[in-house]
A and B are shown apart, each in its own frame.
Chain A
Amino acid sequence: MSVLSDPVVAAGLSILGVPPLPDLRLLDEHIAVLDKAAAHHAGLADDSVGAIRLGNTNQGPAATAVRTHFTGGQGALPRADDLAHRLHTTADGLRTGKSYLEWIIGLLAATAAAAAVAVAYFPELLPRLAGTAKRFFGMIEDAMRSLGRIFTRLGERSTSKRVDVVAGRLHEQWRAPRRLEDGTFEPRIKSTTDSAWISRHGTDQVDIANTRYGDLPADWQKENKESARVAVHLVTDAKKEGVDTGSSDFMESASAKVHDAWLERNGEWAPPEQKLPYEELSEAEKEKDRVVVRKALDI
């Protein structure tokens, strides 16, 4: 039985004007569901390794491609591992929140019991007890804000990963027409100012066409990353608001915003035909912005 259902405590909380305190049983249910889901994903990672091994007798480029796909950033194995970790961290967050709440609720209950006695025998103590209770309740609100920030960060990491995926796909789309028969790409040499990249490679020259997005210097990732960030946020927000992201209305309004953001970054050097508002762009120019939105919708 919860201490909050004790009649003396309930009366004391009412005297102190403390808002209703939460029932923690639902928190237990969520923790149990998340623990089970985290364990399931850890098991799934093992089972999927077992399934890939069934085809391991195969050797050669195709077999290597399968294994790379399976273990690479978007493969089933890292996805299962990542989900196991996130679910586990979320459960831990709830567990920590629950322990903290139990502690504060205990303090509030003690204060409330004191108030129930004070109301009869020491009414002059009531304002001080009310102040103490208010501080304790403020601690609950602070804790909730901290937990909220942790959960936001856990979600944000997934957003930043999605941004990288979209940016990587935009880079692949850009270099695809440059593909040569031998599987390499027609070179496009550029200079970089990314000092970390320069010290790793011993040069400031980078062939951006023959470099995967993840291996590009930061300044050559930047433009695709910024476009991807805008589109991923637009799609995420639209989904949150229940907007039909498959509609042409969404595609056009999102593409217009991608274009506006691009102009803000590149307006200084943009050619006249790209400096126009989205509605006045040629179909070919509009399509460039739609591609970005489409990539964000695809993931």
Chain B
Amino acid sequence: MEQRIRIDADGRHTSGRGFRTLAEEYQEFVGRLEQEWGEESPLPYLAFSEPYSRLRRSLLERCEQLGTALRDTGDGQTIMAETNVATEHLLATLAERAGQVEA
């Protein structure tokens, strides 16, 4: 079955900007979270504090990865939007040239 193709470069640009804003806000949030969620263990028992500290590090690492995923999605949308626009320009130029040849 033929897949329908519809291109909306403006939509992609807006989506890309949306993700970039989310990524920037999220980066600030993670910075604050790291500060507020101090390294000091809330309980002075080794059986608790060691796994808790490892989990804290693991979750903060995941936060960083999420920030990258948000930025990557936004960058991907923007790159595709620019590719779409470039393709449309190229198609328009080709159509114009073809028209000149026919004339």
Contacts and interface: CB of A to CB of B under 8 A. Distances in A.
A7 interface: no
Interface residues of B, number: 45
B8 A58 contact: yes
Given A66-B80, A83-B62, A54 B15 contact: yes
Binding site of A, secondary structure by majority: helix, strand, loop or mixed?
helix
Contact of B73 (A30, A62, A70, A97): A70
A33 B33 contact: yes
Contacts of B70: 48, 76
A58 B12 contact: yes
Interface in A47-77: 47-48, 50-63, 66, 69-70, 74-76
A69 B58 CA distance: 23
**By CB atoms of chain B within 10 A, which of A58, A63, A101, A147 has the most?**
A58
Contacts of A155: 51, 54-55, 58
Given A44-B22, A76-B73, A60 B65 contact: no
Given A48-B19, A55-B12, A27 B26 contact: no
Interface stretch (A86-94, A189-197, A252-260): A86-94
Given A29-B42, A48-B22, A58 B7 contact: yes
Given A30-B37, A61-B3, A54 B18 contact: yes
Nearest to B33: A37
A154 interface: yes
Contacts of B42: 22, 26-27, 29-30, 94
B66 interface: yes
Interface in B1-54: 3-8, 11-12, 14-16, 18-19, 22, 26, 29, 33, 36-37, 40, 42-45, 47-48, 50-52, 54
Interface in B42-86: 42-45, 47-48, 50-52, 54-55, 57-59, 62-63, 65-66, 69-70, 73-74, 76-77, 80
A144 B47 contact: yes
B48 A80 contact: no
Contacts of B77: 55, 66
A87 B66 CA distance: 14
Interface string A264-299: 000000000000000000000000000000000001
Contact of B47 (A62, A101, A148): A148
Contacts, number: 146
A230 B80 CA distance: 37
A188 interface: no
A135 interface: no
Interface residues of A, number: 60
A80 B6 contact: no
B58 A34 contact: no
Nearest to A152: B51
A57 B80 contact: no
B4 to A, nearest CB: 5
B91 to A, nearest CB: 15
A33 B58 contact: no
Nearest to B70: A76
**By CB atoms of chain B within 10 A, which of A53, A140, A149, A155 has the most?**
A155
A151 B15 contact: no
Given A58-B8, A60-B4, A66 B54 contact: no
13 contacts: A37-B37, A44-B22, A51-B73, A55-B15, A70-B73, A76-B19, A141-B47, A147-B48, A148-B48, A148-B51, A151-B54, A152-B55, A240-B54
Interface of A: 20, 22, 26-27, 29-30, 33-34, 37, 40-41, 44, 47-48, 50-63, 66, 69-70, 74-76, 79-80, 82-83, 86-87, 90, 94, 97, 101, 140-141, 144-145, 147-149, 151-152, 154-155, 158-159, 239-240, 299
